[in-house]
Structure 1
Amino acid sequence: MRKASGSLTVKELSEKTWSDFKAVLGNNGGARGCWCMHWRLSIAEWTEGKGEGNKKAMSRLAQRAPAPGVIVYQGDTPVAWCSLGPRSSFPRLERSPLLSGLDDEPVCAIACVFVHKKHRGSGMLPTLLEAVCEYAAAAGYPTAEGYPIEPAAGKRAGADTAMTGIASAFLDAGFSEVARPRENRPIMRRKLGK
């Protein structure tokens, strides 16, 4: 476990933390049986594995190094999940015409930020992103990169569209916009380390 910003800590997803991961994602595995495999599989593979298949695929990843992401805790309570790693860990992200790589800079891609439904709207997302950035810096990444959604004024993003995070929270966590391939989809980066 790594102490992190504020009252939040992070633990890598592993066999030991699998039950906490399931507690955060719930019975549906996040949105629509995803189990955070959206960016890791082709759309055909993801659809075929929807639900139990995707859950088993993530379970296999949780048994390997590097960890496919971290569970975020408030005290002893798991409150969120963040899928992260080198962009190459997310083939569908790499192939995306919208979110394809900007350059050759080695980044820690923050591909998914999923907050447990009891904690949504609590304002914890910037602190959560700070904790994730501290983890990524300790893991040796020079830069964190996120792909948040920017909901239209007065609108709220649903769980499946907000899976990549909310732009204002990334700004509050020290990220800067580096590209905007679509009106509501900025690409944001934050330098890590000292």
Structure 2
Amino acid sequence: MDPSDDVRIVPANEASWADVERIFDSGDARRCRCQRFKVTEWIWRDSTLDERLAAQEAQTGCGTPGPTSGLVAYLAGEPAGWAAVEPRTAFPKLRTSRIPWKGRDEDKDDPDVWAVTCLVVRKGFRGRGLTYPLARATVAFARERGARALEAYPMVTQPGKTVTWGELHVGARQVFEDAGFAQVTHPSPRRFVMRVDLTR
């Protein structure tokens, strides 16, 4: 099912914090609160859930004008999905991760390159293709805010290999292909760096 006709996607600061919390109501998303690439140390050992909650609330800026850390998707009026999209420099752990940089020689501190690091679909709304319109919306969102390029770090599933929902928080390759991203590198058997040029 393509939910595009019944989906509305807004910057997180135009949504309520209560709606964001409803999206992050179960599983790994509930614990991580989209902080995996935000923290500089090991997420579970060096931060508490209360600290991650407070950080996410501050980052989203729900209900206030100004910058925000992502997008909120509504399906039939219900908060159903999330995409983390910001300047790449807003994710300290991306800077030290091997995946984004293997085989690349690029300025890690370029503020005009943005990144999509996480797609979350609320329990009860999964399996409806909601990540597709979310990924497409990240492109328009980054372009409107002056980004020169937008990256994602998705994975592919392999026959016979178990993939947990938590692993796929980075998104699936085909979702970003649909949104116009092209492969930059293939740093590991299951992971890709994909990018869309926003200057055209």
Q: TM-score range by the shorter chain?
A: 0.7 to 0.9
Does residue 117 of structure 1 match 2:115?
A: no
Does residue 34 of structure 1 match 2:32?
A: yes
Does residue 21 of structure 1 match 2:20?
A: yes
TM-score calculated relative to the size of structure 1: 0.85
Q: Structure 2 vs 1, CA of residues 47 and 39 (structure 1 numbering), >3 Å: closer, same or farther?
A: same
- Measure how far apart 1:28 and its partner are: 5.3
Amino acid at match of 1:40: K
Does residue 176 of structure 1 match 2:182?
A: yes
8 Å CA contact retained: 1:29, 1:51:
no
CA distance in 2 between partners of 1:121 and 1:154 (Å):
20
- Measure how far apart 1:88 and its partner are: 0.6
Q: Structure 2 vs 1, CA of residues 142 and 155 (structure 1 numbering), >3 Å: closer, same or farther?
A: same
CA distance in 2 between partners of 1:140 and 1:156 (Å):
39
Amino acid at match of 2:122: H
8 Å CA contact retained: 1:29, 1:55:
no
Task: State the secondary structure of the residue aligned to 2:194.
Answer: strand
CA distance in 2 between partners of 1:118 and 1:157 (Å):
19
Amino acid at match of 1:145: E
Structure 2: 5+ residue stretches without partners: none
Q: Map of 1:98-177 to 2, 5 A cutoff?
A: 98-100=99-101, 102=104, 103-104=106-107, 106-153=112-159, 157-177=163-183
Aligned to 2:78: 77
Q: Could you list the runs of 4 or more consecutive aligned residues of structure 1 that deviate by over 6 angstroms after TM superposition?
A: none
Structure 1: 5+ residue stretches without partners: none
Task: State the secondary structure of the residue aligned to 1:79.
Answer: strand
CA distance in 2 between partners of 1:114 and 1:193 (Å):
28
Query: How many matched pairs?
Result: 189
Task: State the secondary structure of the residue aligned to 1:129.
Answer: helix
Q: Map of 1:54-69 to 2, 5 A cutoff?
A: 54-63=52-61, 65-69=66-70
CA distance in 2 between partners of 1:191 and 1:9 (Å):
24
Task: State the secondary structure of the residue aligned to 1:70.
Answer: strand
- Measure how far apart 1:55 and its partner are: 0.7
Task: State the secondary structure of the residue aligned to 1:111.
Answer: strand
CA distance in 1 between partners of 2:6 and 2:26 (Å):
27
8 Å CA contact retained: 2:35, 2:43:
no
CA distance in 2 between partners of 1:173 and 1:154 (Å):
27
CA shift digits 1:108-158 (9 cap, x unpaired): 200111111222221232222112212222222222210011111365632
Over the aligned positions, Cα root-mean-square deviation in angstroms equals 2.4
CA distance in 1 between partners of 2:44 and 2:54 (Å):
12
Amino acid at match of 1:26: D
Higher mean displacement: 182-191 or 44-53: 44-53
Q: Identity percentage over the alignment?
A: 26
